[in-house]
A and B are shown apart, each in its own frame.
Chain A
């Protein structure tokens, strides 16, 4: 509704993502959700369309685009199925530590494969006792000659078991706590690396989330990303860059939910007229549209800020993540309500959007943690005014 001027490149990204949504996702979205089934077909299509190369620099075979183009693709795919968008988003998140801190040799080895969609990535930080308190991780990586040996359990890893490359955060120096964490590249076939139990989820059921078991997983020492002790810095930077992607998912989801329920309310006749004519219904849609557009404006302001090279993006990234995902939860719940019984039926997309939205408030840092991040940034910003009245 709010017209935004896109560059030619951005228009192409949106058109291609929409083409994939219409042709490869929409006909199957309800079925994948119902069967909790991961179908590689839309991911293959995204790879063929070069979408995995959006963020990868041209010198490594990518398109060399930025956060804005990535968010546009994410938003568009998510409108059709936030579950498929999650597989894509986790693939992008897994590539970020390599992009930020990988050595030249690592970039030359992995980035072209990622850009072509020949290697799907995953990012593994969370552990059974380390969720919001990420610094409490217990997975270790001990140096042994020319190798590191990794031991531990990672949980809730998106793309676990289907990814080819895993970025694993593990402690190289447990005494130092978070400063003793490092990031490693683990291949799916490495000895001692085993995907564990697949989670049974409420939403995002077209994507795979699983445990990862590292049992004396032995990897060459050149799989360390950056230096020892850089693990948390890389993880935080990667998550700061990825969170606008979650916001983009939320906005696409909310747009999809609103469109499904508007179409229904214009067709559904009660009391002799379409239910859209009743103010309680039409005002709800007016409210939805305003909230979606507000979140969208915030998102593209944040991605422009990232693309212009702003260094400290933590607060902005946290802000758009919780704002957009809370908005998506509200919109999708209202979409179900506006559709009544049909919205509650598992034959309708509305209830799927609502279940999918719930996860967006939880993953890549709960919204509560995002408010911690933003309030910490605010405190820093207004530090100089302390003591003044």
Chain B
């Protein structure tokens, strides 16, 4: 099975900087780490490739300083590394990001499967996986926690708020992976020793045949108006006095608010 695994570098918590003009994250200046959910996606892809004698192509749309994240993915089992990097990609929302990834999938494909993490910890939208499927005209199955390869299809277990769904799906398709799906492996010493020899292929907008109007800020219907840390105003009242008075006061507050 030939598998594309989408990896997103996210700013390391505590190192986040916001561009005051565009209100988007300044990813070039942040220390980047691999989105934690994408570790499970990568592990799922590598395990499936091992079972099916396949290959994993790790793809990331990110600034050039994300190269190390892809080299890390190599240590964790990815076979080919592709960095989509171009000024035109900057400021992309989920629609522009998924369009870019879809162009890359067409250029680098065909793939039997495209695997994404369930959600990224910086954006928290969980939209890129399903949108990527839409751009490619493929079915998508989200929140997958178990993958079993069958003859010509995959048996997928999908988590829901209540219970689970078992889905049989024929490749090609896009899936997003839950953190319960597996225990990601440690880096391999053999692969770490080979890291210096591994090529990270860098592709621009032109290389993947992407249309400028769909890329970056231009292609993003979501415009960030402001980014700020919310202020919390906790209102509290300490009721003191004899138990009878305290309970009377508590009762009247609850009644006032219509809670009882």
Which A residues are within 8 Å of any B CB, using their own CB? 9, 12-13, 15-16, 19-20, 23-24, 41, 45, 48-51, 53, 63
Contacts and interface: CB of A to CB of B under 8 A. Distances in A.
Given A12-B193, A16-B186, 17 more contacts: A12-B189, A12-B192, A16-B187, A16-B189, A16-B192, A19-B186, A45-B183, A48-B186, A49-B185, A49-B187, A49-B188, A50-B188, A50-B189, A50-B190, A51-B189, A63-B189, A63-B190
Q: Would you call the interface of chain B mostly helix, strand, loop, or mixed?
A: loop
Interface string B176-216: 00000001011111101100000000000000000000000
28 contacts: A9-B193, A12-B189, A12-B192, A12-B193, A13-B189, A16-B186, A16-B187, A16-B188, A16-B192, A19-B186, A19-B187, A20-B186, A23-B186, A24-B186, A45-B185, A45-B186, A48-B186, A48-B188, A49-B185, A49-B186, A49-B188, A49-B189, A50-B188, A51-B189, A53-B189, A53-B190, A63-B189, A63-B190
A49 B185 CA distance: 8
Contacts, number: 37
A51 B190 CA distance: 10
> What 6 pairs across the A-B complex have the smallest Cβ distances?
A48-B185, A50-B189, A49-B186, A12-B192, A45-B186, A50-B190
Nearest to B196: A8
A45 B187 CA distance: 9
What size tier do the contact residues of chain B reach? under 10
Contacts of B193: 9, 12, 63
Contacts of B192: 12, 15-16
Contacts of B187: 16, 19, 49
A13 B193 CA distance: 10
A41 B186 CA distance: 11
A41 B183 contact: yes
Interface of B: 183, 185-190, 192-193
A23 B185 CA distance: 10
A63 B190 CA distance: 7
Contacts of B186: 16, 19-20, 23-24, 45, 48-49
Interface of A is mostly: helix
A12 B192 CA distance: 7
Contacts of A12: 189, 192-193
Contacts of A15: 192
A22 to B, nearest CB: 10
Nearest to A69: B189
A325 to B, nearest CB: 27
A148 to B, nearest CB: 36
Contacts of B189: 12-13, 16, 49-51, 53, 63
A15 B193 CA distance: 12
B130 to A, nearest CB: 30
Contacts of A63: 189-190, 193
A16 B191 CA distance: 11
A149 to B, nearest CB: 39
Contacts of A9: 193
A51 B60 CA distance: 29
A53 B187 CA distance: 14
Nearest to B75: A16
Contacts of A20: 186
Nearest to B185: A48
A66 to B, nearest CB: 14
Nearest to A63: B189
A16 B185 CA distance: 11
Nearest to B188: A50
Which of A13, A16, A53, A63 has the most chain B CB within a 10 Å cutoff? A16
Contacts of A13: 189
Nearest to B186: A49
B68 to A, nearest CB: 14
Contacts of B183: 41, 45
Of B188, B190, B193, chain A has the most CB atoms within 10 Å of the CB of: B190
Q: Which of B185, B186, B193 has most chain A Cβ within 10 Å?
A: B186
B185 to A, nearest CB: 4
A95 B196 CA distance: 31
A12 B193 CA distance: 8
A322 B190 CA distance: 33
A313 B189 CA distance: 28
Contacts of A48: 185-186, 188
A296 to B, nearest CB: 22
Nearest to A61: B190
A119 to B, nearest CB: 18
Nearest to A19: B186
Nearest to A23: B186
Contacts of A24: 186
A53 B191 CA distance: 13
A343 to B, nearest CB: 31
A49 B188 CA distance: 4
A45 B186 CA distance: 6
A373 B188 CA distance: 38
A259 to B, nearest CB: 22
A105 B17 CA distance: 60
Contacts of A49: 185-189
